[in-house]
A and B are shown apart, each in its own frame.
Chain A
Amino acid sequence: MDVAIEITSSICLLIGSFLCVSGGVGILRFPDFYTRMHAAGVTDTLGAGMILIGLMLQSQDFLVFAKLVMILLMMLFINPTASHALAKSAIHNGLKPVLDIKERNNTESESSSR
Chain B
Amino acid sequence: MRHTINLFLTLTAFWLLNSGHYSALMLSLGLGSIMLVLFIAHRMDVVDHESQPVHLSLKLPGYFLWLFKEIILANISVVKHIWLGNSSISPSLTTVKASQKTDIGKVIYANSITLTPGTVAVDLVDDKILVHSLLKENIRALEAGEMNRRVYQVEN
Contacts and interface: CB of A to CB of B under 8 A. Distances in A.
Q: Are chains A and B touching directly in their complex (CB below 8 angstroms)?
A: yes
Interface of A: 19, 22-23, 25-26, 29-32, 34-35, 37-39, 41-42, 45-46, 63, 66-67, 70, 76, 79-81, 83-84, 87-88, 91-92, 97-99, 101, 104, 108
Given A45-B75, A63-B20, 6 more contacts: A30-B86, A39-B78, A41-B114, A41-B116, A45-B117, A104-B86
Contacts of B93: 34, 97, 99
Interface stretch (B44-52, B98-106, B120-128, B144-152): B120-128
Contacts, number: 100
Interface in B60-81: 71-72, 75, 78-79
A108 B111 CA distance: 31
B134 A81 contact: no
Interface of B is mostly: mixed
Interface of A is mostly: helix
Contacts of B130: 91
A66 B15 CA distance: 12
